[in-house]
Structure 1
């Protein structure tokens, strides 16, 4: 599936926002092997930090995508919806706010700005390990894409 320019811009903004010492992130993490839910669930972006906190981000660049039947994966200690200002205004106007989920809007400065804090959720040890294993598999997939490119 081809990503829209809006999606690519939001991904880049989210990466810049979370790219810090001690924070490890990966896009399009396929959860599975040992998870208690459907093994084909994909989280748009997950970060894991040196303190053990898992953050899951779902990116929505259109209101239709937000309202679609596509699953929104809330697996982290903290879970966030990352949207454009246009999508946020429609979510707010229609009172589509999801309980316990934080919301970031990618602002004019090109970085996500928090408009609502998320609640902390406790993960079991098994859930945390499964998420990290899923991140490693997804990171390996991304690395393989890079090394398949013809060298200079």
Structure 2
């Protein structure tokens, strides 16, 4: 599960490279068992850039494979984390640092920014030859873009795209931690209450309409 800070870094990285005219996609499985890169960017001139997003020291020192197979490769850190890890960054690996925008400034802005913060190149990356086959990497890149498009389409279609069985399975999953003494926290109870309230509102609207019709009928009869 990605932290909110990781998601903010990701959004800002997307916006940064979009402004450069490049295309970015997250979580791309590399050819030749070279791992999964957090974000892969392809520039119009065919240059590939790989980014590994790290928000804590523990994250940086984890056993997760670093897929630095691109022409230029970077770590992306919160600005406060970089000084603590600066001595451990390999010479050929670049670093981009993230600073969040002031929430009050965002709230006061006429046009909200496209990203929650800004990125700075704190350490330039050195060029290296692509470490995997270009055609194979392009195929993986396209497949990951297709995955994101499908996710967006499913989101746009909403729950209507799922069968009753799928919806029931999801409800059952979420009932595993049923809160007996705190029903307001249970999704199923929230759903039932909403359905109950919607039904009452619909019936009340129908009763009100019938009452108006009856009143109009009586008035016409009296005349």
TM tier relative to shorter chain: 0.7 to 0.9
Counterpart of 2:202?
none
Counterpart of 1:148?
154
**8 Å contact from structure 1 (residues 16, 111) kept in 2:** no
**8 Å contact from structure 2 (residues 99, 119) kept in 1:** yes
Counterpart of 1:128 (choices 134, 141, 159) is: 134
Task: Report how many aligned residue pairs link the two structures.
Answer: 143
Quote how far apart the aligned CAs of 1:27 are: 0.8
Quote how far apart the aligned CAs of 1:22 are: 3.8
Q: TM-score, normalised by structure 1?
A: 0.86
Quote how far apart the aligned CAs of 1:148 are: 1.7
String of CA shifts for 1:56-104, please: whole Å, max 9, x gaps.
1110011101011111110111001100123212102xx2121200101
Counterpart of 2:72 (choices 65, 78, 101) is: 78
Quote how far apart the aligned CAs of 1:6 are: 0.6
**8 Å contact from structure 1 (residues 105, 113) kept in 2:** yes
**Secondary structure of the structure 1 residue equivalent to 2:37:** strand
**Secondary structure of the structure 1 residue equivalent to 2:83:** helix
- Distance (whole Å) between structure 1 residues aligned to residue 61 and residue 155 of structure 2: 37
String of CA shifts for 1:31-73, please: whole Å, max 9, x gaps.
23xx3xx26x110111111111001111001110101111111
- Distance (whole Å) between structure 1 residues aligned to residue 135 and residue 24 of structure 2: 15
- Distance (whole Å) between structure 2 residues aligned to residue 24 and residue 138 of structure 1: 12
Higher RCO (C-alpha 8 Å, min separation 6): 1
**Secondary structure of the structure 2 residue equivalent to 1:149:** helix
Who wins on radius of gyration, i.e. which is larger?
2
**8 Å contact from structure 2 (residues 96, 123) kept in 1:** yes
Which structure features the higher share of helix residues? 2
**8 Å contact from structure 2 (residues 77, 96) kept in 1:** yes
Q: TM-score, normalised by structure 2?
A: 0.60
**8 Å contact from structure 2 (residues 30, 67) kept in 1:** no
**Secondary structure of the structure 1 residue equivalent to 2:157:** coil
Which structure features the higher share of strand residues? 1
Counterpart of 1:59?
53
Work out whether 1:104 is the aligned partner of 2:96. yes
